Structure 1
Amino acid sequence: MSTPQTPRTFGATSTTAEVIDGVDLHGRRAVVTGASSGIGVETARALAAAGADVTLAVRDTDAGARVAARLEAELPPTSGKLTVGRLDLSDRSTVAAFVTAWSGPLHILVNNAGVMAPPEISRTADGREWQFAVNHLGHFALATGLHPALAAANGARVVSLSSIGHLFSPVVFDDLDYRYRPYDPWTSYGQSKSATSLFAIGAAERWADDGITTNAVMPGNVGATSLGRNMDPQQVAAVIAAGELALPPEKSVEQGAATSVLMAASPTVEGVTGRYYEDCAEAKPVAERAGAVTGVAPYALDRDNAARLWTVSEAFIR
């Protein structure tokens, strides 16, 4: 990667074009999950524009192929190659197939795909609560399965998308799958996004000697995405009216993907690992949820929590 001639800082309104400016990713390979819509598409676009060969890892390969064709038509000839791979994070067999099919080094892994707040509980075929399974366990299986490829890259970066929604709940180790407590879409979402952050903490410690950096990011309030496709609009309105949900200022897709691209490719964060970033900067600790629209809860950065979650997650994906 080339370093910009002038030191630069970025913020909440920075775009992918700004954070990737001057970065050369030719010869690098990247995987972006959920790259058939929203900030996943923009993340793939930015990385490919800088020269990376990008695999769009998606559930619907037809939709992925349409996105790849559109990006190829829009991007300059110097851009990296775009390919499409099938990946359903709720189905461990497709995760295993994706990992098995991968060969060679992997320089960038962006765990971007996710689901948010479906009103009714759903479970995967192996009995896991759906949000925890998709947002955390599927990505955990993918990243750990691709670990040899990441280690072979000699300086790989893993970026996992968390959310301000992690403030709704820590990881509840005694009832991860809502067997003993009533299902709540928001605490379930919060738990899965706390888990996403804890994965970055756990992987940072375990993979440091392999030259792999792992960080969690909060993209912000990006309206033009499909993340909330399973949500009940009336339920969301009720949560906002009750003051249980505060939203930061809305961002464009280009602004929402900027923190992911920064952590995936910018030389300004070279060597940074085990952190939680938002608005293209490291987030500050937040003591309580009420009214918070920025910041990270201490429980989402806790090393003991991260170690416990790693052990539990390994057992779940065996």
Structure 2
Amino acid sequence: MFELRRLRLLHELSLRGTIAEVAASLSYSPSTVSQQLALLEREAGVALLEPDGRRVRLTPQGRMLAEHAARALDLDERARAALTAHTGWQPVRLAAMPTAAETIVPAALTLLAERAPELRVELAELAPEESLFELWARRFDLVIAEQYPGYTRERRDGVVHELLGDDPIRIALPSLEPPTPLAQLRDHAWVMEPEGTAARQWAVQQCRAAGFEPDVRFDAADLTAHVRLIAAGHAVGMLPDLIWGDEPSPLTVADLPGSPVREVFTAVRAASRDDEAVELVRAALADAFAAHRRVSP
């Protein structure tokens, strides 16, 4: 009989690629991970790992067992969800992109305090590029993420997306400037999210479609920094309405060509869709987002 904790380590190694990354993800030491995988090899009776330079990689038998481990972990998750009604709710681990963590999540927690006061929610603020992978790897139970028009995110097996709604994206300018069409901002300095993010790629494409290459002088993951740089008159940018919460924007905003929106969605593993606690949190997030949209300009 295989020990489920060791199977999870093998599964994590198949996802993350190195023992060091597995150890960091699960808060173990690398030596503990190596020892447990060695014990799993003894249980299996075949080599699961082989040297790959200074690292290790899975053998064909290791890859096969990692696939079985993923199914075993799914079954374990489904069984725990089925027992929730009798054993009490486990904490729901939520990862949210910054704009949602600052606006939608607090409102959802207020709803949950009324609907299920004994339910514990643990929040981490992460970019979608990281949070969706970590959901797949079982670090989180629920994720709030987004995707931009024309930039559909990777759909992983066993992960289910559910749309919360649309979030308009607009040009943001200093408050003393008038609303200005995108094509007339070619000579302005820009603030954008870091290279490699969907938000950055999408924003650059909007500028190129308007006939110019943006002068991106400021690169920041925190949209609060975007707001402050724009408010101080140092840059212009593109910001989603969700960043303002239920308050009016302190900046001048102007519509982009075509009035684009990003899609805000939740993601869960298929194995936890029947988990009552996860569904309660997802429903509260949906209600909080709907309430935000009703009061937004």
Please indicate the TM-score interval, normalised by the length of the shorter structure. under 0.3
TM-score normalized by the length of structure 1: 0.25
- Normalized per residue, the structure richer in helix is 2
Q: What's the TM-score, normalizing by structure 2?
A: 0.27
